[in-house]
Structure 1
Amino acid sequence: MRVLLIAGGWSPEREVSLSGARGIRRSLARLGHEVADLDPVADLGGLLDAARRADFAFINLHGAPGEDGLIQAMLDVAGCPYQGSGPAGSYLALNKNASKAVFRDRGLPTPDWEFVPRDPGPDFAPRLPYPLFAKPNTGGSSVCATRVRGGDELPAALGAIFASGCEALLEPYLPGDELTCGVLGDEALPLVAIRPAGDAPFFDYASKYEVGRCEEICPAPVPRELSEEIQAITLAAHRALGLSGYSRADFLVRDGKPLLLEINTLPGMTPTSLLPQEAAAVGLDFDALIARLMELGLARARGEA
């Protein structure tokens, strides 16, 4: 097939996107596909024509555009099938404030939060106690995410988020074990336990992308009952947001109770990323995972998923 590989973009996660695309491009070539590249930062206006010349689009974007549903909406206009979720589910998942509202509405456990859509001024006092986390409402990869220990640190943390063009989301700082769980098709995958290096304040950008900054264990060494509970919550969240194909949910486990932090519709796709590790645990190597995602995307385009 002629596959349009869409990567890059203009979000702070651009380099992560381009890095993952290199492995995807090699995999698509090994699978026998003809690959054309498109970077929305350079040629968003040419996307429709490029998509009409392709049989399938593989999206490897993080943040906006990509996870916000814009690229998916344009591909729908062009009639080009792609892997993963459609525009509505993509945007709901990217917007942490909106997705957490859906989780809470469906009875899924998620930490309390406070949405700060614009600079609240110097006298702002959050209703959540310190310490807390300040993070972009529509960002990923822990870019601009900060642990805030007191009121004197909050203005700088919020300022960095607003300067990046995002709204802010505040959550309580809750020490616990970090786990992640992927969905492929209609099945939950084995969990990954994430253990940042001793000097890391949390699973931050460096922990995610610098070699040796964290330990990732798959399958996670947790009790079967907890694993099954997290898998059930992951599937419920995936369905609640109307997602398709695949996703990856991030959890914090505190006192044996899982809390759903967020869900990713375009999770990292290097061969060593979290979701490919989970797929490998059920016998799918990276090439087989790419092929499966394409199968699911084609089935969705035919109205079969």
Structure 2
Amino acid sequence: MKKNIAIIMGGYSSEVDISLKSGNVVYNHVDKEKYNPYRVHVLQEGWTVLDDENTEYPIDKNDFSFSRNGSKVIFDCVFNAIHGSPGENGTVLAYFDLIGLKHTSASFYQMALTFNKRDTLSVVKQYGIPAATSVYLNQGDAINLDAIIEKVGLPCFIKPNNAGSSFGISKAHTKEEMNPALEKAYAEDSEILIESFLDGTEVSVGVIQYKGKTKVLPITEIVTENDFFDYEAKYEGKSQEITPARISDDEEKRVREIAKKVYEILNMSGFSRSEYILVDGIPHFLEMNTVPGLTEESILPQQANEAGISLQALFSNAIETALKAS
């Protein structure tokens, strides 16, 4: 009997449109011979299931079910395609754990941890993983720009602590550019991170659970036309994403080893895609995305394709891994 799969998409953050696109790609490519997929919009205005005619059915939050034509539909598993809140930060996953519904992501705590850039960095640095020098601020903190510059230098990156898709990120080249950048970051989050600029080759690498084992996917080199890999570069064609990356064998080995180590340090499961800057051949960890883009053009699907894994196989593996989880 085919399993009922809820593909949750949307969310409560600036990434809602990107998430809807990812979720629809999952819906279109999931194996319909094995599963009954349903598109579930999780939005501020409500949670609804959409059928192929875009008729909406409200979700019963008591058990995450819905009723159609007098019949109640119960889900066997949730495929998490929500970038940002409440999917990538773990909030909705805690709810699924409470009602006993399996899902394709890591546990809610691991998701919350990795969504918080500062906390993630504090963990990986304890294990000797190289990273940028950083300063952390809460909204309302006194700001001493001279002291910050003395610590992280210029140029520096100013970014929201809890946000994705490069929303709210700026690269400040001068002291005068820092206050506008701080305001931009605070518009996305009440916590921000200021990091030193790492001058090197940027790479992105997916690490997933595949057929019961941790698998490091082929590495992608990021070459942006802009000053850094911002929203425009990511989603509006202002970058090249070269898979496999044009790096040396030694650099590739180091990235693969560190990427797998970070995945295991953070006790991850499911999807992940992490960013690194290679400085003098040494990978420096930037951040981890635990609900990466899942469109045909997105980086992780590109890497899976390079590894010989189709979108259907990638999504089926995630569902099967979740269904078998204890």
Per the normalisation by structure 2, the TM-score is 0.87
1:3 partner amino acid:
I
Name the one with the larger helix percent. Answer: 1
Report the counterpart of residue 180 of structure 1 in structure 2: 204
- The answer to whether the 8 A contact 1:119-1:158 is kept is no
Select which of 209, 213, 232 maps to 2:235. 209
Select which of 252, 256, 260 maps to 2:281. 256
1:82-109, CA deviations, whole angstroms, 9 ceiling, x for partnerless residues? Answer: 1121111101111000000001101111
Considering only aligned residues, what root-mean-square deviation do their CA atoms show, in Å?
A: 1.7
Q: How does 1:81-92 map to 2 (within 5 A)?
A: 81-92=102-113
Shift of 1:123: 4.7
Name the one with the larger strand percent. Answer: 2
Report the counterpart of residue 63 of structure 1 in structure 2: 84
1:193 partner amino acid:
E
Select which of 173, 192, 200 maps to 2:220. 192
Q: Distance in 2 between matches of 1:169 and 1:157?
A: 11
1:50 partner amino acid:
F
Report the counterpart of residue 189 of structure 2 in structure 1: 165
- The answer to whether the 8 A contact 2:163-2:189 is kept is no
Report the counterpart of residue 146 of structure 1 in structure 2: 170
Larger Rg: 2
How many residue pairs get matched?
A: 298
Report the counterpart of residue 12 of structure 1 in structure 2: 14
Shift of 1:77: 1.2
Q: Distance in 1 between matches of 2:229 and 2:32?
A: 33
Q: Percent identity?
A: 29
Matched, 1:73 2:87: no
Report the counterpart of residue 223 of structure 1 in structure 2: 248
**In the superposition, relative to structure 1, how do residues 272 and 30 fare at CA in structure 2: closer, same or farther (>3 Å)?**
farther
- The answer to whether the 8 A contact 2:19-2:81 is kept is yes
Shift of 1:50: 2.1
Shift of 1:47: 4.1
Shift of 1:30: 4.1
1:233-252, CA deviations, whole angstroms, 9 ceiling, x for partnerless residues? Answer: 11111111111122111001
**In the superposition, relative to structure 1, how do residues 48 and 106 fare at CA in structure 2: closer, same or farther (>3 Å)?**
farther
Q: Distance in 1 between matches of 2:40 and 2:265?
A: 31
What secondary structure, in the 3-state scheme, does the structure 2 residue paired with 1:98 have? helix
2:8 partner amino acid:
I
Select which of 33, 36, 40 maps to 1:34. 36
- The answer to whether the 8 A contact 1:4-1:50 is kept is no
Q: Distance in 2 between matches of 1:242 and 1:194?
A: 26
2:117 partner amino acid:
K
Gaps of 5+ in 2: 48-58, 66-72
- The answer to whether the 8 A contact 2:159-2:170 is kept is yes
Q: Distance in 1 between matches of 2:296 and 2:190?
A: 30
2:221 partner amino acid:
A
Q: How does 1:236-247 map to 2 (within 5 A)?
A: 236-247=261-272
Shift of 1:65: 1.1
Shift of 1:154: 1.2
